[in-house]
């Protein structure tokens, strides 16, 4: 998880700015890709209200911070930023500050009471209400809307691409989550799971293709449970008519439609959930050359006992079988994980199960966290956060160290290959090198020569570090 979108060096920022707009919006985003995608919806809505985005906090009329609640640390980071905004506001009392996203939803009007600097609190399903709420704030009142919706997908809002390199974009396909993993705050902050109309997804992807984008990532908390049957709310599917059931589109169907509609667009998706991922999805990936060979497949723990307490609805064995199936259908597939160290009651034996599962899979990379108790979740309410901090830390370090070994094992396996890389930006380490990702989502750097951002090039891999491949471009892949 990154705190702030990485600096896109060497690329031009594509940013829709209306000339007649006079007001300035400073928008900062934290947390998951979905939040960054939501901020693009917010920018679009505010753009129509006379606001252009700005990078300068000092000149902002309105500051909006799209927040994350996933771990306590994420919330502390936002609180520090609010202090900073408060300091700037002292010099510019007309500036208004709003909190959006998961923290807004979790803390609701408490924000207005506790954090005196906040004028506006808006939850993830209420962004269309922003123009009205901002007006209320301009009239001198505080404003809150944290109502969660069962329908809102923002399918009709054309996002303004923020901080974009003009090459890759996120496209949301579902909102919310019905899974109720016991550690996770998302079902509470983002509400029930609903899917977006496939036609609006295809339209957005086609529009991105027209604008020159080369890669999209379909986004959802659990993309595999995507289901459109004329209605969007997953839990109401049982009530759908026979006709609706017969013509329903699941995730593999959606992937197939998107891949066919834009055969030159590279397609990625995130996040997959092991309990819902079907063989059809893997076969659809194998069928289309433009769907990348990469699956982010969080497991959280390798211990059956802990998986059960987490309410992850699969066993270690089932997960390993899924991995076997992925590898037999797409042998070169990149696979990454999310892992939590120190979930309540986790023993050394459970921890060892996590390490041996990692040995089995040898993930390409991963996102690893120490368990952080979240108020309101089942684990928060019913389980003792009983693994001592130093034990959590030590286990996390062991997981990270093992992942590093496996990442290196994986990057080394690419040596000598020639691989297709989509150029995204200038390498962070050298102005003379491009950086882009191969199909498996591993970063590849190579001398720029005469290639450009957005080119798909064949790169011969000569060297590697634990996380990065190093090579030479041979020719354009198109």
**Where along the sequence are the contacts to ligand F3S (CB under 6 A)?**
177, 179-181, 184, 186-187, 221-222, 273
**Is the CB of residue 9 less than 8 Å from the CB of residue 426?**
yes
Segment interacting with ligand SAH, rule: CB under 6 A, options 364-372, 402-410, 423-431, 465-473: 364-372
Q: Which of 29, 182, 293, 372 binds ligand SAH (CB under 6 A)?
A: 372
Cross-strand pairs, 29:
66
Nearer to ligand F3S, 138 or 276 (CB): 276
Using CB distances below 5 to 8 A depending on partner kind, what does residue 187 bind out of ligand F3S, ligand SAH, none? Answer: ligand F3S
Based on the shown chain and the rule CB under 6 A, indicate whether residue 69 belongs to the binding site for ligand SAH: no
Based on the shown chain and the rule CB under 6 A, indicate whether residue 298 belongs to the binding site for ligand SAH: yes
Using CB distances below 5 to 8 A depending on partner kind, what does residue 372 bind out of ligand F3S, ligand SAH, none? Answer: ligand SAH
Nearer to ligand SAH, 79 or 476 (CB): 79
Q: Which of 51, 85, 371, 434 binds ligand SAH (CB under 6 A)?
A: 371
Q: Give the Å distances, CA to CA, from 326 to 252, 293, 303, 471.
A: 14, 10, 21, 27
Phi, psi at 41, each rounded to 5°? -70, -45
Segment interacting with ligand SAH, rule: CB under 6 A, options 104-112, 126-134, 178-186, 446-454: 178-186
**Is the CB of residue 426 less than 8 Å from the CB of residue 386?**
no
Whose structure tokens read 């199909």?
Answer: 439
Instruction: Give the Cα separation of 188 and 476 in Å (integer).
Output: 46
Instruction: Give the Cα separation of 38 and 101 in Å (integer).
Output: 9
Nearer to ligand F3S, 292 or 299 (CB): 299
Using CB distances below 5 to 8 A depending on partner kind, what does residue 293 bind out of ligand F3S, ligand SAH, none? Answer: none
- Residues with Cβ within 8 Å of 34's Cβ and at least 6 positions away in sequence, in order, are 170, 172, 175, 190, 219, 220, 221
CB neighbour burial string for 170-200, b if at least 16 within 10 angstroms, e if fewer: bbbbbbbbbbebbbbbbbbbbbbbbbbbbeb
Q: How many residues bind ligand SAH (CB under 6 A)?
A: 17
Based on the shown chain and the rule CB under 6 A, indicate whether residue 374 belongs to the binding site for ligand SAH: yes
**At 23, is the secondary structure helix, strand, or coil?**
strand
Based on the shown chain and the rule CB under 6 A, indicate whether residue 358 belongs to the binding site for ligand SAH: no
**Is the CB of residue 461 less than 8 Å from the CB of residue 444?**
yes
Based on the shown chain and the rule CB under 6 A, indicate whether residue 36 belongs to the binding site for ligand SAH: no
Nearer to ligand F3S, 184 or 219 (CB): 184
Using CB distances below 5 to 8 A depending on partner kind, what does residue 85 bind out of ligand SAH, ligand F3S, none? Answer: none
Q: Going along 136-261, which residue ranges are E strands?
A: 143-145, 168-172, 174-175, 194-195, 215-219, 227-228, 249-250
Angle between helices 130-138 and 33-47 in degrees, nearest 10: 70
Nearer to ligand F3S, 340 or 456 (CB): 340
Based on the shown chain and the rule CB under 6 A, indicate whether residue 300 belongs to the binding site for ligand SAH: yes
Nearer to ligand SAH, 131 or 380 (CB): 380
Task: Find, among 133, 135, 153, 152, the residue nearest to 143 by Cα.
Answer: 133
Nearer to ligand SAH, 50 or 380 (CB): 380
Q: How many CA atoms lie within 13 A of 379 on its CB side?
A: 24
**Min CB(218)–ligand SAH separation in Å:** 11
Based on the shown chain and the rule CB under 6 A, indicate whether residue 161 belongs to the binding site for ligand SAH: no
Using CB distances below 5 to 8 A depending on partner kind, what does residue 371 bind out of ligand SAH, ligand F3S, none? Answer: ligand SAH
Q: Give the Å distances, CA to CA, from 399 to 126, 228, 294, 396, 402.
A: 39, 38, 21, 5, 5
Using CB distances below 5 to 8 A depending on partner kind, what does residue 70 bind out of ligand F3S, ligand SAH, none? Answer: ligand SAH
Phi, psi at 235, each rounded to 5°? -70, -15
**Min CB(153)–ligand SAH separation in Å:** 16
Nearer to ligand SAH, 230 or 375 (CB): 375
Based on the shown chain and the rule CB under 6 A, indicate whether residue 369 belongs to the binding site for ligand SAH: yes
Instruction: Give the Cα separation of 170 and 173 in Å (integer).
Output: 10
Cross-strand pairs, 369:
340
Nearer to ligand SAH, 195 or 372 (CB): 372
Nearer to ligand SAH, 364 or 419 (CB): 364
Task: Find, among 192, 183, 190, 191, the residue nearest to 377 by Cα.
Answer: 183
Based on the shown chain and the rule CB under 6 A, indicate whether residue 71 belongs to the binding site for ligand SAH: yes
Q: Which residues bind ligand SAH (CB under 6 A)?
A: 32, 70-71, 183-184, 186, 221-222, 271, 298, 300, 338, 340, 369, 371-372, 374
């Amino acid at each position: 998880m990154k705190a702030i979108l990485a600096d896109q060096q060497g690329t031009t920022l594509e940013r829709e700015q209306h000339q007649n707009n006079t007001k300035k919006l400073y928008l900062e985003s934290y947390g998951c890709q979905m939040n960054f995608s939501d901020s693009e919806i917010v920018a679009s809505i505010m753009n129509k209200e006379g606001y252009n985005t700005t990078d300068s906090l000092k000149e902002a009329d309105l500051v909006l911070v799209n927040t994350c609640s996933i771990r306590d640390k994420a919330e502390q980071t936002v609180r520090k930023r609010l202090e900073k905004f408060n300091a700037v506001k002292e010099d510019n009392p007309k500036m208004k500050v709003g909190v959006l996203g998961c923290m807004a939803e979790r803390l609701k009007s408490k924000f207005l009471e506790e954090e005196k600097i906040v004028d506006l609190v808006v939850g993830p399903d209420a962004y269309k209400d922003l123009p009205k709420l901002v007006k209320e704030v301009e009239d001198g009142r505080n404003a809150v809307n944290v109502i969660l919706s069962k329908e809102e997908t923002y399918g009709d809002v054309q996002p303004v691409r923020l901080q974009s390199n003009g090459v890759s974009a996120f496209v949301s396909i579902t909102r919310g989550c019905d899974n109720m993993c016991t550690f996770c705050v998302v079902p509470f902050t983002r509400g029930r799971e609903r899917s977006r109309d496939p036609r609006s997804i295809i339209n957005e992807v086609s529009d991105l293709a027209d604008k020159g984008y080369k890669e999209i990532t379909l986004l959802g908390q659990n993309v595999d449970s995507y289901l459109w049957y004329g209605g969007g709310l997953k839990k109401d599917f049982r009530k759908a008519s026979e006709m609706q059931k017969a013509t329903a589109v699941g995730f593999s169907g959606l992937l197939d439609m998107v891949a066919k509609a834009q055969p030159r667009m590279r397609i990625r998706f995130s996040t997959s959930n092991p309990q819902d991922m079907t063989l059809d999805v893997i076969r659809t990936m194998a069928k289309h050359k433009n769907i990348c060979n990469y699956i982010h497949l969080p497991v959280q723990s390798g211990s059956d006992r802990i998986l059960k307490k987490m309410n992850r609805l699969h066993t270690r064995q089932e997960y390993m079988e899924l991995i076997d199936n992925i590898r037999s259908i797409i042998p070169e597939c990149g696979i990454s994980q999310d892992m939590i160290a120190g979930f309540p009651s986790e023993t050394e034996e459970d921890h060892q199960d996590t390490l041996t599962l990692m040995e089995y899979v040898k993930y390409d990379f991963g996102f690893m966290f120490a368990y952080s108790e979240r108020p309101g979740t089942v684990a928060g309410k019913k389980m003792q956060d009983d693994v001592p901090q130093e034990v959590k830390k030590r286990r996390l370090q062991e997981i990270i160290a093992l992942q590093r070994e496996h990442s290196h094992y994986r990057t080394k396996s690419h040596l000598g290959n020639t691989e297709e890389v989509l150029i995204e930006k200038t390498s962070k380490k050298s102005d003379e090198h491009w950086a882009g990702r191969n199909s498996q989502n591993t970063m590849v750097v190579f001398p720029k020569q005469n290639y450009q951002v957005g080119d798909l090039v064949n790169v011969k891999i000569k060297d590697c570090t634990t996380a990065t491949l190093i090579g030479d471009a041979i020719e354009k892949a198109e």
